[in-house]
Structure 1
């Protein structure tokens, strides 16, 4: 895999982006290499945006940061999204993410340590259990309450 690149900004708001490679894991077929981008911002502190790209085609999802953190250690998720670790005898490990229903899904795997290190950066930007402190509640509620 290529070397991961992490970009972090603190102004005007806290963001971090990880650019790396991931693999689309197909049953019985060779893995397909994809460009991966994970983005986190204090403006949306509960979510991680995932972007995948290959040959000009791209797809984007939003996942819970909490689900990714839990998925580093154990299977997390039901329904159309699941995250879990895959441990190997040599000590290296993968993080797998399943998107879509079981019968028609895509499973991606990426280096667990790379994702864990990047999630640690998100926790330094917005510590767990302080996410609500970063939401602009007044900005959200003002248009709803300002009805003429």
Structure 2
């Protein structure tokens, strides 16, 4: 006998989503731009988060930062996020882009990110794991234990 009923859908692992590399500009001040490379990585095992690595033109990664996938998606068309990470569209012009602001105590970095390829890539991540399924596979007990008590509490 076949192990699956013919009308029961078989859940498969989502297809891996390739990383996206974009040329971005870090705004050092109002008139000075520093060209950089941003690599956006998506892991279907943790779909609510996109990891973004920022590298110099020579390829040395300086910072790797987890950013909410919904925040990135929302920031393509409106103000999104609060606190340490925010994103919003620039004024309309020839090349659509958004501002991505990363803040930490005593330091902030503002990046101009082209949005067309980022929007298409984010849509690919949502086809792999829809927004409504982002939190479905999360180990809530472990997550809350780590959030409230630190990483040692989750394994205790």
Superposed pair shares fold, TM > 0.5: yes
Does the CA contact (< 8 Å) of 1:16 and 1:41 recur in 2?
no
Q: Cα–Cα, structure 1 residues 131 and 70, in superposed 2: closer, same or farther, change >3 Å?
A: same
CA distance in 2, matches of 1:81, 1:49: 13
Residue deviations 1:95-143 (CA, integer Å, cap 9, x gap): 11100159731001111111101101101110111112344x39x59xx
Structure 1 gap ranges (5+): 1-9
CA distance in 2, matches of 1:57, 1:39: 14
2:128 matched residue in structure 1: 125
Residue deviations 1:41-95 (CA, integer Å, cap 9, x gap): 11111100000011435111001001111111111122111111113243x3111
Q: Cα–Cα, structure 1 residues 131 and 27, in superposed 2: closer, same or farther, change >3 Å?
A: same
CA distance in 2, matches of 1:126, 1:12: 7
| RMSD between aligned residues | 3.0
Q: Cα–Cα, structure 1 residues 86 and 133, in superposed 2: closer, same or farther, change >3 Å?
A: same
CA distance in 1, matches of 2:51, 2:86: 15
Structure with more of its chain in strand, by fraction: 1
State yes or no: 1:79 paired with 2:83: yes
2:108 matched residue in structure 1: 105
Report which of the two structures shows the higher radius of gyration computed on alpha carbons: 2
CA distance in 1, matches of 2:105, 2:79: 15
**How many correspondences in the alignment?**
135
Structure 2 gap ranges (5+): 1-11, 144-152
2:49 matched residue in structure 1: 47
Q: TM-score, normalised to structure 1's length?
A: 0.76
Does the CA contact (< 8 Å) of 1:49 and 1:63 recur in 2?
yes
1:94 is matched with which residue: 92, 97, 101? 97
CA distance in 1, matches of 2:155, 2:106: 46
